[in-house]
Amino acid sequence: MCDSSYSPGWFLQNGVVLTVYTAVCASRDWQRTTQNPEPPYEEKIFIGAQEVPIFGWVAIPENAHGTIVGTYGITGDLDNQWYLRLLGRKAYAQGYAVVLFDWRAHGKTAQLSPTLTSDGLYEGEDFVRISAAAKAMGCPGKFWFTGYSLGGQLALWAVKAAVELTREDENLGLEDSDIGGAAVICPSLDSARSLSFLVKHPVGKYFERAIARQLKKLAWQIHDAHPGTIDPEAIERANSIWGFDEELVIGRLGFPTVEAYYDASSALPLLRNLTKPTLIIYAEDDPFFEPAIIPELQIACANNPMVDLLLTRYGGHVGYISSKTCQRQAKDPDQWWAWNRILEWIGKQG
């Protein structure tokens, strides 16, 4: 069933329009939409899975009552991912410790290591090891993993990894009771089907090309920071998201094909087995993802009482800018409906 508590202004009741508006327009004045200041972040280099160094920011308020650990989507870095930094402001103001990080091959993490992405296969463990180090710094449980778009996929993998690692690694520094769960916005759930949908969509193909250009730029930055680690000819050939993974990623991870990699890393099959509270906010009009996934998402969530699904008619891809009427009805302090629902939901988990 579709949740009706979210509504945008009438001119944003189209997934493509809301997605573009959020990325182009809302990104310019987001700081004016919140009364919350930037937390006093401390820079920290964490050690993730496979001993990969991960760059992050940590802020711990007085009397913190939990910790939110988050990252962003397929491209970007901590400096320019304003949507994630908005969460940091809101969460810190509500008394949560906040840990934000540049995931593998992004931002300052890419300067520290040439290790490329794995779309959750190792990033899930990164989340957990970051949380263990944050606990040692004074961040309190429970730890809540969050992200949006591809970062949401990573956070779902983190729930699986957390349960396994707290059970198997006595030296981890985290207990099962330290793990809260996850709350994600518009997570990638089936990479192969959604990418096929995106490149065939009359507007989506332009989104895909823009992302591919950013991935190529990312690869060149790693090449320049770590000479000899990436074949420049392979970067030249990587002219699509699929091409990036085919030329640069799957060989290092041991997958014979991109299809096999996407099958292994996609998050939809994880949902039936998650054993920690998990919230998924997902829009029916998300222009990035194959609509046929939605019935399968509904079934997976219905069959697992640990997973709550907020499926909305509108929202676009990581948009969720609410109308004034919606803000009044939800008693929200601002237009950022999805982050407000996530913080509200986490607050109710106890």
Catalytic residue positions?
A: 149, 286, 317
- Residues, the chain: 350
Residue 188's alpha-carbon distances to 119, 243, 319, in angstroms, are: 10, 18, 15
Spatial separation of the C-alpha atoms in residues 350 and 345, rounded to whole Å: 10
The span from the first CA to the last CA of the chain, in angstroms, equals 26
Tokens of 104: 């593998």
Q: What is the distance of C-alpha 74 from the center of its chain?
A: 8
**Pair 186, 19: CB distance under 8 Å:** no
Residues 327, 186, 30, CA angle at the centre, nearest 5°? Answer: 50
Query: How many helices and strands in the chain, by DSSP H and E?
Result: 15, 8
**Pair 184, 317: CB distance under 8 Å:** no
Containing 56, the helix (H) or strand (E) segment is: strand 53-59
- Closest by CA position to 184, among listed 88, 265, 285, 70: 70
Containing 181, the helix (H) or strand (E) segment is: strand 179-185
**Pair 100, 214: CB distance under 8 Å:** no
Residues 51, 56, 58, CA angle at the centre, nearest 5°? Answer: 125
